[in-house]
Structure 1
Amino acid sequence: MAENKVKYDWYQTETHVVIEVRVKALAPDQVQVNLQATSVGVSAPIPERPGSEFVLDLDLAHPIVPERSSFKVLSTKLEIKLAKCTGQRWATLEGDGTEPLAAPQGAGGATAAAATAAAKYPSSSGKDWSKIEADIEHELEADKPEGEAALNSLFQKIYSEGTDEVKKAMNKSFSESGGTVLSTNWQDIAKDKVDARADLLISFTQITQNLPSSTMGGIMGKAMDDNLQKNQQFMLEMNRVTMERQIHMQNQMRERMAALQIAKAREMFVWLSSFYGISVAAMLKGFQSSKKPAVLVPLLPLTFLIGYQADLAYGTKLNRIKSEAENIMMFERDLIEIPTGLPSLSSLDVARLQMEEDAKYKATTPSTTQ
């Protein structure tokens, strides 16, 4: 993945140093920020250039408090807020990480005032960075998100400003439906479990109240289409995975049952072979004593029986049975077809209606006495 350097701005207040990385549409879960006492490291994929990521490594001019520092991913930028160790102003952002020097005191306080004025801003332009910070915050508040970001922002606002019942309804509908239903009507949602909807049903019973149609149209347009496609793809993938798991589970159960049957056949062979050995010895002993060939007649069926069991337990009989089954499925499917074919929904409905008619007829027919 190619690495790219990015431009950034910074400003400071009495307690914090704020770094702004101007990259739009960053994914919050893909942004990595490493805050150390004297350094800051940032890396994230660039949405506009797939396969590329930006890297920002800064050696800070003065130490910070990582535990009280934070970062926030916005729609237009990445904002990193660094907590100062002391309230001194920083002359530069990058440096050797030493503590900032206190302003020296001169006669009449003139030197101190001059030093304070010189160190008040990180540049010599004389800009009021506190005012710039306030303007940026106002700009962010006025910056109206679009598409899916606007939809998520709307939902977050409704959730944060809603009553407890609204919050319970949104949580219950969203979690039980797998993210396909979002309702704010607790009276309807509290009754039954909310089923998943592949068509991305979203209830706006209370959402659309107090909002003009132009606002709703601008917010819901592209976001609803994107969410619908994503949800349909998710449902199809989940159905495919579920089907594959069921097939694998059934196959594993079949393999376990087949292994159990083979183990039973081998156990039976051990007992039959022992019985066969004892029987052969007894019949030979009887033949020697009586000299009658009829005593050896039972050896013939016993030999066939023990041979069949040996072939089933340790031979190739199972392979021959499987091969014959494959031939039947390929060339003699008429032998394994269900009489009158598979049942259909229409045939099931006909049978159900017929049963209902028979029940009504029996209920209206008077019973005859003997």
Structure 2
Amino acid sequence: MSAPPRHAFYETDEKVTLSIFEKNVDPDKLEIKFEPHKFSYKHGETVLVLDPLRAAIDTAGSDYTVGKVKVEVRLAKTIAGRWGTLVSESDAEVPAPIAAPVSQPVQEAPKKPRKNWDGITTNLLSSEKEKTTNEDPNAGGDAALNGFFQQIYGNADEDTRRAMMKSFVESGGTALSTNWDEVKRAPVPVRPPEGQEYKKWL
């Protein structure tokens, strides 16, 4: 018989994958035998026997495939873990597989309580007393402001109304005067707020 064929293996916790490098293997002439603690490979004069295996295998779950340059054998482990080697050093006792390290649960540091910013904002807003239009003409937004101006306009005399209309229209809404003697002499200029530019839309 010739020397055993060149072979190599890699493993996971569940199986060992053994590659036997032999070209153009005839599947009909190949003899592979799986036993609980032994693996046999024979193709013509080429023989490879692994006895005893490092640990027991599941013979029903083990299989192989024949390729052009190698035969790939998959040995299913009966106990999860790493072998390190294919065969045991002694026939007297087949050692148990090297158990995979058990990861210790990592104890999480206690989480700091998160601030409820939404609740804080709600409390601050609810604690502020809402101002009336009598206390602040700007309270309530545009609707309240319009109501404030309507109140002035409704209680004003004819000259005051004319002054309000003329100043508002001619200034493009940037000025409002109640003094008719002041605004009747000339057109009211546009007076945009500081830092802003007035644009006339066509």
Shorter-chain TM band? 0.3 to 0.5
TM-score, normalised via structure 2 length: 0.45
TM-score, normalised via structure 1 length: 0.25
Determine which structure has the larger strand proportion and give its number.
Answer: 2
The structure with the largest alpha-carbon Rg is 2
- Return the structure number with greater relative CO, CA threshold 8 A, min gap 6: 2
